[in-house]
Structure 1
Amino acid sequence: MTTVIATYSDGVHRAGVVALWRKTFDYGTPHNDADYSLDLKLKADDGLLFVALEGGAVIGTTMAGFDGHRGWIYSVAVDPSHRRRGIGAALVRHAERALSALGCPKINLQIVSSNEQVVGFYEALGFCVEPRISMGKRLPGRG
């Protein structure tokens, strides 16, 4: 079956994306809830959420963002039954092209420390580990 990468459409893809993210991401924190994350991304209205589809079913995702200075890639997920077929790489490259078209000079991404095995995946796509300290702060109201 052919894989197609498309821009996310809420009325068409939401249930599939939520199911995929719940299957592949086990964050367990309210601010990373799949529906909540989708709602926040849709408020940005930037067209930088992409899905990989086979036969109309969501089998992969990637989300990107651009603030005018740096681009970010988030939520790269491929259903476990469809991995090792180049779908994740195709999603990342699709996001890279979209960010490049916006004039983005550099892309960043973060990897949860418990998911270090994915480092090789990103290195094969040209990303490198940079000497940075990632810091975060949760704002009141969403865990």
Structure 2
Amino acid sequence: MWTATGRDVLPRAELEAKLTRDPELFLVIELGGEAVAMTMKTFDGRRGWILRLAVHPAHRRKGVAARLVDELESRFRQLDCPRANLLVMPDNAAGLQFWQSRGYLPLPDVLCSKSMLAGRS
């Protein structure tokens, strides 16, 4: 799925850890036994985070992503999550347009990141 969408492939260990931590926030849509869309989210008790959303190119513009977002927002509400955040890659104009059409607005925050893998032996 990730390869078909042109984004980084997530390591199997990362996917398994996510499924173990909060499986109710990992959604997959299947058609004919094939995964055509998926999304990973997390909730830290304060904010919901949409970590990934991918729709296979052959199934885009058919409402699949909207269905996933509707369901994930419902699940966030069930967790009493007051706000959901997400990141959009700067080169993903279609993604940004999709999220804005769903009411997600860009903020002037500065993203800071640090790898926790550095220095591991």
**TM-score, length-scaled by structure 2:** 0.88
Structure 2 CA distance for aligned equivalents of residues 43 and 69 of structure 1: 20
Structure 1 CA distance for aligned equivalents of residues 77 and 22 of structure 2: 18
Deviation at 1:103, TM superposition (A): 0.4
Q: How does 1:129-140 map to 2 (within 5 A)?
A: 129-140=106-117
Number of the residue aligned with 1:23? 4
Q: How does 1:68-83 map to 2 (within 5 A)?
A: 68-83=45-60
Structure 1 gap ranges (5+): 1-19
Alpha carbons 2:22, 2:42 under 8 Å: kept: no
Structure 2 gap ranges (5+): none
AA aligned opposite 2:2: W
Paired-residue identity, %: 34
Structure 1 CA distance for aligned equivalents of residues 45 and 6 of structure 2: 28
Deviates more, 1:74-83 or 1:41-50: 41-50
Report the 3-state secondary structure (helix = DSSP H, G, I; strand = E; otherwise coil) of the residue aligned with 1:47: helix
**TM-score, length-scaled by structure 1:** 0.76
**1:49 aligned residue (26, 37, 41):** 26
Deviation at 1:25, TM superposition (A): 4.1
State the Cα RMSD in Å.
Answer: 1.7
AA aligned opposite 2:77: S
**1:105 aligned residue (79, 82, 87):** 82
Kindly indicate whether structure 1 or structure 2 has the higher relative contact order, using CA contacts under 8 Å at least 6 residues apart.
1
Number of the residue aligned with 1:94? 71
Number of the residue aligned with 2:43? 66
Deviates more, 1:102-111 or 1:32-41: 32-41
Alpha carbons 1:21, 1:34 under 8 Å: kept: no
Structure 1 residues 45 and 129: alpha-carbon distance in aligned structure 2, compared to 1, 3 A threshold: closer
Report the 3-state secondary structure (helix = DSSP H, G, I; strand = E; otherwise coil) of the residue aligned with 1:23: helix
